[in-house]
Amino acid sequence: MKGIILAGGHGSRLAPMTTSTSKQLLPVYDKPMIYYPMSVLMRAGIKEILIITTVEDQTRFINLLGDGGDLGVRFEYAVQREPRGLAEAFILGRNFIGNDAVTLILGDNLFYGDGLSLALKSAISKPEGASIFSYYVENAERYGVVNLDENGRPCSIEEKPVCPKSNLAVTGLYVYDNDVVHMALDINPSKRNELEITDINRLYLERGDLRVEQLGREVIWLDTGTPDALLEAGELVRSLQHRQGLQIACLEEVSYRNGWIDDAKMSEIGNRLNSTEYGQYILKLLNSEES
């Protein structure tokens, strides 16, 4: 299983904050936004991840994340020169994907809750077809919307419908078998001149290979693409971390618990960041494991 984080786009809804940097590099409380989707992939056991950025921002992402060696994973990078739709990720990443299955997550989506990891691992375990993740929302017309039949199977999927058939929004997390690469090459651009992820999902639906994982109340999903949503996400992370004393989306912790990095690497990173609560948390975690 390969992973892709789509971190392109111009972040126009967050201007002027995004005039000189990518929205996925903006802070969500104490970490760059991209740490949150990255942690979702890593918690699911995905070690090979492609990060798709704009031309202007790619160097900034490389400076932040490097090649993944400090985390025991492998990062690669690709450029999306124009925002031509989510499905273009599979064309830009086709050499990276090779013959493998792939999980795509949007770089501005924040998920929190153990239920997500269980659902994602379940989806990854399926050898064929596609899995999308739905979430109940009030304003479904702002999202892709999936409708289920009486047996809980998907029967239709629409992109930002005027009159939604359900309140189940399709979140920015998708799991596909290798057929998705060929599908992305074959679909036509929409009226917006974009390759729509909904068209990919509809193809899987038509052949009976689309599964819907419904995320329950134990999972929080936020799209951090507006100033209000960005502030809401930061306040949520701050509140949970202060209350629990646990970091959300600490990439080093995920790697350590997965057995991808050892005590020495944790100590090195923690001491490098010791002037921050983040670095102190890493050292505290290491000391608690040693005692």
Q: Is residue 49's pLDDT more than 80?
A: yes
Q: Please report, rounded to a whole number, the percentage of residues in the chain having pLDDT higher than 70.
A: 99
For position 148, what pLDDT does the model report?
93
99 contact partners, CB below 8 Å, separation of at least 6:
178
User: Helix, strand, or coil here: 86?
Assistant: coil
pLDDT, tens digit, 9 for 90 and up, residues 186-223: 999 888 888 999 999 999 999 999 999 999 888 999 98
For position 25, what pLDDT does the model report?
95
| Crossing angle for the helix pair 263-272 and 277-290, to the nearest 10 degrees | 150
Residues facing 221 on adjacent strands: 111
Q: Is residue 285's pLDDT more than 80?
A: yes
Is pLDDT larger for residue 176 or for residue 150? 176
pLDDT, tens digit, 9 for 90 and up, residues 259-272: 999 999 999 999 99
Tell me the pLDDT of the chain averaged across its residues.
94
For position 248, what pLDDT does the model report?
96
Q: Which residues of 42-56 are buried (b: 16+ CB within 10 A; e: fewer)?
A: bbbebbbbbbbbbee
> Among the ranges 8-22, 208-222, 245-259, which has the highest mean pLDDT value?
245-259
For position 217, what pLDDT does the model report?
87
Is the Cα dihedral 260, 173, 223, 186 positive or negative? positive
Q: How far is Cα 111 from Cα 283, in angstroms, rounded to an integer?
A: 25
Phi, psi of 66 (to 5 degrees): 65, -150
- Please state the rounded mean pLDDT for residues 269-284: 96
- Please state the rounded mean pLDDT for residues 178-190: 94
Q: Torsion angle, CA of 129/135/141/145, rounded to 10 degrees?
A: 20
Phi, psi of 185 (to 5 degrees): -70, -25
For position 23, what pLDDT does the model report?
93
For position 290, what pLDDT does the model report?
65
DSSP 118-175: HHHHHHHT-SSSEEEEEEE-S-GGGSEEEEE-TTS-EEEEEES-SS-S-SEEEEEEEE
Q: Is residue 15's pLDDT more than 70?
A: yes
Is pLDDT larger for residue 32 or for residue 151? 32
For position 151, what pLDDT does the model report?
86
How far is C-alpha 156 from the geometric centre of its chain's CA atoms? 24
Confidence band for 288, pLDDT divided at 50, 70 and 90:
confident
Q: Torsion angle, CA of 256/259/265/267, rounded to 10 degrees?
A: 50
**Angle formed at CA 94 by CA 102 and CA 179, multiple of 5 degrees:** 55
Q: Please report, rounded to a whole number, the percentage of residues in the chain having pLDDT higher than 90.
A: 83
- Please state the rounded mean pLDDT for residues 124-134: 94
**Can you give the residue ranges of every domain in the chain?**
2-260, 262-291
Q: Is residue 13's pLDDT more than 70?
A: yes
Confidence band for 276, pLDDT divided at 50, 70 and 90:
very high
Q: Is residue 291's pLDDT more than 60?
A: no
Q: Is residue 242's pLDDT more than 80?
A: yes
For position 130, what pLDDT does the model report?
97
Q: Is residue 289's pLDDT more than 80?
A: no
Q: Which residues of 57-77 are buried (b: 16+ CB within 10 A; e: fewer)?
A: bbebbeeebeebebbbbebbb
Topology at the third CATH level for domain 2-260: Spore Coat Polysaccharide Biosynthesis Protein SpsA; Chain A (3.90.550)
DSSP character at residue 81 = S
CA distances from 13 to 107, 157, 190, 196 (A): 15, 25, 22, 20
* pTM summary value: 0.94
**Angle formed at CA 99 by CA 98 and CA 100, multiple of 5 degrees:** 95
